[in-house]
Copies of this chain bind each other. A is one copy, B any other.
Amino acid sequence: MPEAFERVSVINLGLEGFADAARDQGAPATNVDWRPPAGGDPDVLAVLERLWGRHGDRIAAANAEATARIEACRPMAVGVRRAGDELPWLGEGPRRLLHSGPPITWDRVCDPQRRAMAAAVVFEGWAPDREAAYRLLEDGAVELGSGNEHGHVGPMTGVCSPSMAVWLVEDADAGVRACSTLNEGPGDTLWFGVGGDVAIERLRFFRDTAGPLLDRLIARCGPVDVFGMAAQGLNMGDELHMRSQGTGNLLIRHLVPGFAALGGEETAAFIAGNHHFFLTLTMAAAKCASQAGQTVPGSSVVSLISRNGTDIGVQLAGLPGRWFTGPAAPVQDALLREGYTEADAALDIGDSAVIETIGLGGMAVAAAPTVASFFGGTAADTAARVREMAEICVARSQRFTLAPLDGVGTPVGIDARLVVELGITPQITTGVLHNSSGAGQIGAGIAHQPVPPFRNAIAGLADALDAA
């Protein structure tokens, strides 16, 4: 691990003259917009020194193992099922809901996520209307759980209740499985925190019509090789987070003989009209791969980045199940719909950043030059963003490659040490919700994740390794 040791020796020089010394040695840091490592914070530098030095070999091996497991995982969508049947915690309790982000109590839940929860309560028939639903939630009569702790990932508000239809995605060889709700499309939906009558009616359509049909379609046409399609989708202008159109069409192509055999015009029309329909498949598959890469003691690879519009929570592959949280960030570089300003924008929300932990989305923006317009950039800007993300990643993906960059792999395996040292956090392409009105999505942009949770995570890792 010569590179790791070289980093340590650079840090040991102290802060005075650091930049020049690093440049003299041709260290990687000289190639970037240079800042003192970890903002020059001596406590953090001490943690980094332990992680690059004493524990460097072990972490490097663990990170290689975690990344190799992520890359080897091949999640297949095997059906669409009732959430309560596939997610034990959700199905066991009398009244339980899952939500995006780290665990949270009702009093701290943000407005769009509250609206989604209330709509789910009405959908389940636990309350006759939204007012009654809010009372149940306030009274604690509905238990809340973090989806990520119970086998589920959800985009934006990420609410899942027992009767909802969910994708079941698994890699039996890797021993991982995850569920995610069917994507509702735009407008009056739960994921965007609107949760009106149209949204609830659509959940019934998913439960009674689209979900059961999709389950039969997959049984007939075969499981969906999610990452196989995603790899093709990268050659079809998708980065698989903000844009999944090309990949979604591959799913339709996979299912069209089944539609011809089984019927289901309404479901076919819904899927054909929903450009984001593939999103939750990618998320569930990414959650599988992320789980496959977990439980590698000593790994500083980020296995989870998840937000609930109030908090962001981070987990490391080496410390699975342990949350490192902080305040959620605003979405930057955002394009907002006419009539809305930054003051209307909810904070960053959703479990979808799991996509970035396995080498897609913000790691792959060069695949999607049309997405460049979301942050006012050019194709060259998307290439530069990929290069920047590579600076904080352990490896380049073998399966996800970028033809516009002549076939280089996307960066995969975010190393929390590099995030903290370089002050470069993962960039998450995401939507922007209204923070109070129930207007739903008002824009889209890039969420630059805050550094503190990553800083706390590497401190926790250093302590765990010292104690081991």
A-to-B contact residues, CB < 8 Å: 235-237, 245-246, 249-250, 252-265, 267-269, 271-272, 369-370, 372, 378-379, 403-406
Would you call A370 and B237 a contact (CB within 8 A)? Answer: no
> Nearest Cβ in chain B — how far from A93, in angstroms?
37
- Give Cα A229–Cα B252 distance, bound, in whole angstroms: 16
Q: Look across to chain B and name the residue whose beta carbon is closest to the beta carbon of A371.
A: B403
Contacts A237-B237, A260-B262 known; 8 new A-B pairs at CB < 8 A: A252-B256, A256-B259, A256-B269, A256-B272, A259-B260, A260-B263, A261-B265, A263-B263
> Nearest Cβ in chain B — how far from A268, in angstroms?
4
> Nearest Cβ in chain B — how far from A261, in angstroms?
4
CB neighbours of A406 from chain B (8 A): 369, 372, 378-379
CB neighbours of A404 from chain B (8 A): 369, 379, 404
> Nearest Cβ in chain B — how far from A277, in angstroms?
10
- Give Cα A272–Cα B379 distance, bound, in whole angstroms: 31
8 closest Cβ contacts across the A-B interface? A249-B249, A369-B403, A260-B268, A259-B260, A236-B236, A260-B265, A257-B269, A257-B268
- Give Cα A397–Cα B64 distance, bound, in whole angstroms: 48
Most buried by B among A246, A260, A262, A372: A260
Would you call A370 and B235 a contact (CB within 8 A)? Answer: yes
> Nearest Cβ in chain B — how far from A368, in angstroms?
8
Would you call B268 and A370 a contact (CB within 8 A)? Answer: no
Would you call B249 and A250 a contact (CB within 8 A)? Answer: yes
CB neighbours of A256 from chain B (8 A): 252, 255-256, 259, 268-269, 271-272
Q: Look across to chain B and name the residue whose beta carbon is closest to the beta carbon of A369.
A: B403
- Give Cα A253–Cα B246 distance, bound, in whole angstroms: 10
Most buried by B among A235, A255, A267: A235
